[in-house]
Amino acid sequence: MKQQWVGLLDCNNFFVSCERLFRPDLENKPVAVLSSNDGCIVARSQEIKDMEIPMGVPYFQVKDILKTNNAVVFSGNHRLYRTISKRVFATMETVQNPIEQYSVDEAFFYFFGTEEEARQQILMIKETVEKEVGVPVSVGISLSKTLAKVANEMNKKTTGLKLLDFEEWSQINLSYPLASIWGIGRNFSKRLREDGLISVSDFLAADPGRVRRLYGVVGERIRQELQGISVLSAKNRELKQSIMSSRSFGKETIALSVLEEAISYHVEQVSYDLRQAGACATKVAVFISPSRHGDFVLQSRYGERDFLAPISTTRDIGVIAIQLLRELYVTGVPYKKAGVRVSGIQPFAVQQLSLFTPVAKKIPDPLQSTIDVVNRRFKTGRIHQGFLEGARKYSAIANQQSPAYTTSWGELPVVKA
Ligand SMILES: [Mg+2]
């Protein structure tokens, strides 16, 4: 019998796999990737997981264990990961179209067919991506996104393929913890536990009216998904409410110029993300704060400003953010952290203009689009707004980054024959 299936492709240990793609000597060796500023572990090879080093742990805490075990540690090389990610999805689309990209290394898809056809399909997707791109992937398929996620996890360490049908799911959900279900975060699972709901089957057995009353639409949707009814749809992907970029300084600073550099850097980040999402914002916020320990703890400052019209260019957002910063800045305070947030986000297409909007701006701004294209292409010699000159100096600490194998002529991998 033909039916609708929902599948999920997930790259295994993605960042690590990207690094290994260009360093085959690292196969079967412990490899870890660090977050920006080399702060925490954000990707682990199986060997690292086997050492029981948890995800997200601060690097300095595990530095010694890693060294003793001859682990190879990389600073995140996100430009590399993004290009590999694009290859993965472009390749996947040659055998499965459309797909719905969910994150840098995951994509959902819908497949209509018999169980046998679904099994063949996930095998084909896995084989094609692994052969043509070279990173290992797992593909799970079931009746809803939430269950596809469950399926995907099931054989990750073995075949990397799993079809989870309703019958098998009804068996295993008796002991399947709600806390491990996609979309049930720590707070939600705590509430469920307090209400006596531990396993998926507890939740499915609960009175639907009660579920709705206690946990609202979100609870109801998760419940339907767990029943194998696909309700998390593909199309209405909502825009984020806000986009933020912030970071702590390596060392505290009292210098306005350093803060200006930091804010410029964050403006570049948020406005770029905004444009990538095909959106513009109506509000920008700037915040600066001293260390949470010490005499200046109450000197955190936050300021917000509305734009006359929705904007997305680095230049326009930057001018206002720097003005805000100068108003917030207090001489002599040792600042430890700074950040920028844009909100009131709306798509380019349905901009609401205010009555007082001077002239409707051409969006996307042609100059800005050109700058974005150039900056996407070249890692070095990027174009910056004049007043954002400092941003370059402020970019992340990344002491152990692998070369830009895929994006810079100067750093192509060398092949010896
Ligand atoms: Mg993954």
Res 361: pLDDT: 52
The boundaries of the domain holding residue 63 are 1-172
Q: Is residue 70 part of a domain?
A: yes
How far apart are alpha carbons 308 and 274 in whole angstroms?
17
Average pLDDT rounded to a whole number, residues 84-109 = 92
Res 360: pLDDT: 42
Specify whether 7 is located in the same domain as 141. Answer: yes
CA of 8 to the centre of ligand 1 (A): 11
- Asked whether residue 200 carries a pLDDT value surpassing 50, the answer given is yes
Specify whether 5 is located in the same domain as 79. Answer: yes
CA angle (163, 165, 166) in 5-degree steps: 160
The lowest-confidence range among 71-75, 139-143, 298-302 is 298-302
Which CATH number is 386's domain given? 3.30.1490.100
Which residue is listed with tokens 């805000």? 324
CA of 287 to the centre of ligand 1 (A): 33
Specify whether 20 is located in the same domain as 141. Answer: yes
Residue 53, token pair as written in the block: 């080093």
Specify whether 5 is located in the same domain as 104. Answer: yes
What tens digit of pLDDT does each residue of 72-90 get? Answer: 999 999 889 999 999 999 9
3-state secondary structure of 347: strand
Q: Is residue 28 part of a domain?
A: yes
Of the pLDDT bands very low, low, confident and very high (cuts 50, 70, 90), residue 307 is confident
Average pLDDT rounded to a whole number, residues 184-205 = 92
Average pLDDT rounded to a whole number, residues 5-31 = 96
What tens digit of pLDDT does each residue of 219-254 get? Answer: 888 999 999 998 876 444 556 778 899 888 878 889
Which CATH number is 96's domain given? 3.30.70.270
Res 358: pLDDT: 46
Specify whether 292 is located in the same domain as 381. Answer: yes
Specify whether 210 is located in the same domain as 153. Answer: no
How far apart are alpha carbons 162 and 141 in whole angstroms?
6
CA of 158 to the centre of ligand 1 (A): 15
pLDDT-above-70 percentage for the chain: 89
Q: Is residue 155 part of a domain?
A: yes
How far apart are alpha carbons 156 and 149 in whole angstroms?
11
Q: Is residue 399 part of a domain?
A: no
Specify whether 166 is located in the same domain as 19. Answer: yes
Q: Is residue 336 part of a domain?
A: yes
Q: Is residue 177 part of a domain?
A: no
CB 368 within 8 A of CB 43: no
Q: Domains in the chain: how many in total?
A: 3
Res 1: pLDDT: 86
Per-residue H/E/C for 292-344: CCCCCCCCCEEEEEEEEEEECCHHHHHHHHHHHHHHHCCCCCCEEEEEEEEEC
CA of 27 to the centre of ligand 1 (A): 17
Specify whether 206 is located in the same domain as 304. Answer: no
Specify whether 76 is located in the same domain as 132. Answer: yes
Which CATH number is 209's domain given? 1.10.150
Specify whether 113 is located in the same domain as 151. Answer: yes
Specify whether 220 is located in the same domain as 246. Answer: no
- Asked whether residue 352 carries a pLDDT value surpassing 70, the answer given is no
CA of 130 to the centre of ligand 1 (A): 14
Q: Is residue 16 part of a domain?
A: yes
CA of 356 to the centre of ligand 1 (A): 47
CA of 107 to the centre of ligand 1 (A): 10
Res 380: pLDDT: 46
What tens digit of pLDDT does each residue of 173-189 get? Answer: 999 999 999 988 888 89
Q: Is residue 386 part of a domain?
A: yes
Specify whether 382 is located in the same domain as 282. Answer: yes
Res 415: pLDDT: 76
How far apart are alpha carbons 287 and 224 in whole angstroms?
41
